[in-house]
C-alpha cells in the first residue's frame, strides 16, 4: 500500500519524506487555508520535496473552469495531480485532463456508483472519504470493499485512494480491504509505529545491556 500525507504543512511532509515513508501528498482547499500559505507556492514547495503525485484541487465548479485551472496548476510540476470533485462537470474535466496526460484524483466519493463513474471517466485516483461516511453512521470501509470488487471485476486501473482517514485502524482496514493508497494525516501516520510493548521491550533490553558494561563501538 502506498502512503500519501494528507496535509499542506511542508515541515511535516519533509519529516515523513526523510524516513522514506511518503509516496505522495494530498491537499484540499481547507488544508491550504489552514496552512495560511499561497496555494501555488505551497504546491511548488511540496513538489520539490516528494517525487510522487501531489494533489492540488481546482475550485471552479464548471467543466471548462476546472480544465483551465487544472492545466494551470499542472504547469507547476510534472507530479501535480489535479483534484476534481465527483460531479458531472468534474467527470467531464477528469476525462479531458487525463486525455491530455495529466493525472487526476476524483475527490469526495461517497458511494460505489460514483466510484465506477470516476473510473470510467479515466481517473488516475478516486478518493472515497471513509471518516466522513463513518461520521454519518455509515461504514466507510464497506465502500472500499465494494470499490475493490467492482474495479477487479472489470480490471479498471483507477487506484483506490482511501481518504478522510482518522485513525490507525482506518489505515489497517483500508489495507486489508485492498485500497491501493491511503492518504493519512501526519499525526496518524506517525502513530502507526507506536506499541506500548515495543517501548517496554526496548527499555528492558537497554537496561540488561547496561549491566554487561559493554559497548558496541
Positions marked catalytic:
83
Coil, strand or helix at 20 = coil
* Binding piece for ligand E4P, criterion CB under 6 A, among 37-45, 68-76, 123-131, 191-199: 123-131
- C-alpha cell of 148? 475493490
- Stretches 39-47, 63-71, 127-135, 195-203: which one binds ligand E4P (CB under 6 A)? 127-135
Rounded least distance, CB 105 to ligand E4P, Å? 7
| CA distance linking residue 205 with residue 186, whole number of Å | 29
Terminal Cα distance for the chain, rounded: 37
Buried b (16+ CB within 10 A) or exposed e, 158-167: bbbbbbbbbe
Instruction: Say whether residue 124 binds ligand E4P (CB under 6 A).
Output: no
Size of the site for ligand E4P (CB under 6 A): 11
Binder among 6, 9, 23, 69 for ligand E4P (CB under 6 A): 6
Per the rule left: phi > 0, alpha: psi between -120 and 50, beta: everything else, 123 is beta
**Is residue 7 close enough to count as binding ligand E4P by CB under 6 A?**
no
Is 129 an interacting residue with respect to ligand E4P (CB under 6 A)?
yes
List 160's β-bridge partners, or say none.
126
**Axis-axis angle for helices 88-99, 63-74 (nearest 10):** 40
The verdict on 43 binding ligand E4P (CB under 6 A) reads no
Q: Is 163 in the site for ligand E4P (CB under 6 A)?
A: yes
Binding site for ligand E4P (CB under 6 A): 6, 26, 28, 107, 127, 129, 131-132, 163-164, 183
Amino acid at each position: 500500500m502506498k502512503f500519501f500525507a494528507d496535509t499542506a504543512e511542508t515541515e511535516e511532509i519533509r519529516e515523513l519524506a526523510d524516513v522514506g515513508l511518503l509516496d505522495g501528498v494530498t491537499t484540499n482547499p481547507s488544508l491550504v487555508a489552514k496552512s495560511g500559505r499561497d496555494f501555488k507556492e505551497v504546491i511548488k514547495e511540496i513538489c520539490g520535496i516528494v517525487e510522487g503525485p501531489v494533489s492540488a484541487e481546482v475550485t471552479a465548479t464548471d467543466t471548462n473552469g476546472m480544465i483551465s485551472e487544472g492545466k494551470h496548476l499542472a504547469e507547476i510540476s510534472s507530479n501535480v495531480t489535479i483534484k476534481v470533485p465527483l460531479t458531472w462537470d468534474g467527470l467531464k474535466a477528469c476525462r479531458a485532463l487525463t486525455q491530455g496526460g495529466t493525472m487526476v484524483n476524483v475527490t469526495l466519493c461517497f458511494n460505489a456508483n460514483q466510484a465506477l463513474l470516476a473510473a470510467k471517466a479515466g481517473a488516475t485516483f478516486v478518493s472515497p472519504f471513509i471518516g466522513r461516511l463513518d461520521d454519518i453512521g455509515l461504514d466507510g470501509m464497506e465502500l472500499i470493499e465494494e470499490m475493490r470488487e467492482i474495479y477487479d471485476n472489470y480490471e479498471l486501473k483507477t487506484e483506490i485512494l482511501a481518504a478522510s482517514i482518522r485513525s490507525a485502524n482506518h489505515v489497517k482496514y483500508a489495507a486489508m480491504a485492498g485500497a491501493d493508497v491511503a492518504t493519512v494525516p501526519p499525526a496518524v501516520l506517525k502513530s502507526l509505529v507506536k506499541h506500548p510493548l515495543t517501548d517496554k521491550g526496548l527499555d528492558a533490553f537497554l537496561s540488561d545491556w547496561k549491566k554487561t558494561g559493554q559497548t558496541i563501538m
